[in-house]
Amino acid sequence: MSDAPAPAPSDLFDKVVNLCKRRGFVFPSAEIYGGFRSTYDYGPVGVLLLRNVKDAWWRSMVQLRHDVVGLDAAILSPPAIWEASGHLKNFTDPLVDCKVCRERFRLDRLDDPEVCPNCGSKHSFTEARQFNLMFKTYAGPVEGAGAEVYLRPETAQGMFTNFKNVLETSRKRPPFGIAQIGKSFRNEITPGNFVFRTREFEQMEMEYFVPPDESPRWYEYWCAERLAWYRDLGIPEHLLRLRAHDEDELSHYSVGTSDVEFLFPWGWDELEGIANRTDYDLRQHAAHSGERLEYFDQAAGERYVPHVIEPAAGATRTAMAFLMAAYDEEAVAREGQGKGEVRTVLRFHHRIAPYKVAVLPLSKKPELSAPATEVLALLQPHYMCDYDETQAIGRRYRRQDELGTPFCVTIDFDTLDDHAVTVRDRDTMAQDRVPIAGLLDHLRARLDA
Ligand code: GAP
């Protein structure tokens, strides 16, 4: 991805949403029934993109570290957890209704709290009501008191309720972290901006347990680490910033939070929050459950409740930021025909790109299908590959550009004699002739760097 700040097209948002539908990244959910309230399904390439975002996070937060372990906790959870965490009481947004047009809004997100942004009426709002964002349902056949359960609104509480289990089984000691990726659910009053704010979404969260006096240092450390993660995966510097929360923005559990923000088409908005949650959660769960949630430092002969630094990112929201940052249009000569056209290309970092390689026999003739499927079989154990044998090769290159595929491998009639293929680079469109025997090494040198 180029570092030079190229101006984003003014209709970038619509273009990306359109491309997502056209190329199979994201579909409106239940579309054959008219769609379902800001919910989305990830299509054949969207599921790869999302998986790559999550894999890149897991690699950086768990695989490449010795001090973080993973967890996959249940989504359905008893009220006791949310009573202790404070979510039953505090996880609310102020809701107002316009008495004229009957639209609902989050009061704290209105540009002018006196004016309805839908119908323009002044002083038409009802008194604000605190609306709890958690989805409630019932476990078992009988609805009612005692059967209520909640869909988790954050993955974090699974890490706190399993703190003792992990401490006892993993042989880790503070500073150490527990990481988790999974779905969370919030009954958002105003979902919107495509997959930016939805009621069902995926989070990537890590709770890092530290000795209390070390928490300021680790907070700074994780702010820097997390900002670098986005940069290292190709989001240009000018589209990223770190912003510290004002006092009145802090969640009920936090004494300090900084957001990694991305410059979306509507302005700067949050990708991830890094919070200093202190010992709030462990103390709350200890008090409510009666379990001792502490660490005994044998060397110092000291018992303490660790403090927690939490980098909490959204996987689906981050996938959207990668799409926005990768989108590019450039005027090019039509490949093979010399006629001008605009090509749309997603300049994803290789690690994020849904397919790494597309295998494209020049024609559907069986003489080419046979070597092409051999090339595919050579590459598939190593890389996610697409295979496409219909349409003119120029149109197939354009399709792969729109999917963000870094390399296209073309098998032509010369391949039958020289046992070589053409490797086309997505970003430069340069083509190299590469012997099939050296193809894997050629791609490895470029994709695994
Ligand atoms: N455990 C802390 C926590 O959940 P948060 O700032 O509420 O903190 C963390 O959420 C991240 O989860 C956000 O930065 C965002 O990327 C993602 N997220 C939160 N609500 C979301 C929603 N309604 N739709 C999509 N992503 C959301």
Cα 273 from Cα 260, distance rounded (Å): 6
Query: How many other β-carbons are positioned within 10 Å of the β-carbon of residue 295?
Result: 21
The single-letter DSSP state of residue 284 is H
pLDDT of 3 reads 47
Residue 180's closest CA among 202, 206, 201, 160? 206
Check pLDDT > 80 for residue 6.
Answer: no
pLDDT of 340 reads 78
Burial of 303 (0-12, 13-18, 19+ CB in 10 A): exposed
Spacing, Cα 317 to ligand 1 middle (Å)? 8
pLDDT of 341 reads 87
Atom in ligand 1 nearest the alpha carbon of residue 153: 4
Residue 235 near residue 321, CB atoms below 8 Å: yes
Q: In the chain, pLDDT over 90 holds for what percent of residues?
A: 89
Q: Which helix (H) or strand (E) holds 171?
A: none
Spacing, Cα 72 to ligand 1 middle (Å)? 18
Q: How confident is the model at residue 1 (pLDDT cuts 50, 70, 90)?
A: very low
Q: 209 CB less than 6 Å from ligand 1?
A: no
What mean pLDDT comes out for the span 164-187?
97
pLDDT of 204 reads 98
Atom in ligand 1 nearest the alpha carbon of residue 205: 1
Check pLDDT > 90 for residue 146.
Answer: no
Q: How confident is the model at residue 5 (pLDDT cuts 50, 70, 90)?
A: low
Report the b/e string of 104-129 with b at 16+ CB within 10 A.
ebeeeeeeeeebbeeeeeeebbeebe
What mean pLDDT comes out for the span 107-136?
93
The protein residue with its alpha carbon nearest to ligand 1, atom 15, reads: 314
Residue 85 exposure: Cα atoms within 13 Å on the Cβ side: 23
Summarize pLDDT for 219-248 with one digit per residue, the tens.
999 999 999 999 999 999 999 999 999 998
Spacing, Cα 133 to ligand 1 middle (Å)? 12
Check pLDDT > 70 for residue 173.
Answer: yes
Summarize pLDDT for 307-337 with one digit per residue, the tens.
999 999 999 999 999 999 999 999 988 665 5
Cα 132 from Cα 146, distance rounded (Å): 19
Orientation of helix 315-326 relative to helix 46-58, angle to 10°:
110
Check pLDDT > 70 for residue 213.
Answer: yes
pLDDT of 338 reads 56
Q: How far lies 215's CA from each of 86, 154, 246, in Å?
A: 22, 22, 19
Tally of residues, the chain: 449
Q: How high does pLDDT run on average in the chain?
A: 95
Residue 38 exposure: Cα atoms within 13 Å on the Cβ side: 17
Spacing, Cα 195 to ligand 1 middle (Å)? 12
Q: Is the peptide bond before 175 cis (omega within 30 degrees of 0)?
A: yes
Cα 295 from Cα 214, distance rounded (Å): 15
Residue 144 near residue 135, CB atoms below 8 Å: no
Ligand 1: which of 39, 151, 188, 203 to mutate, judged by most atoms within 8 Å of the beta carbon? Answer: 203
pTM higher than 0.85: yes
pLDDT of 2 reads 45
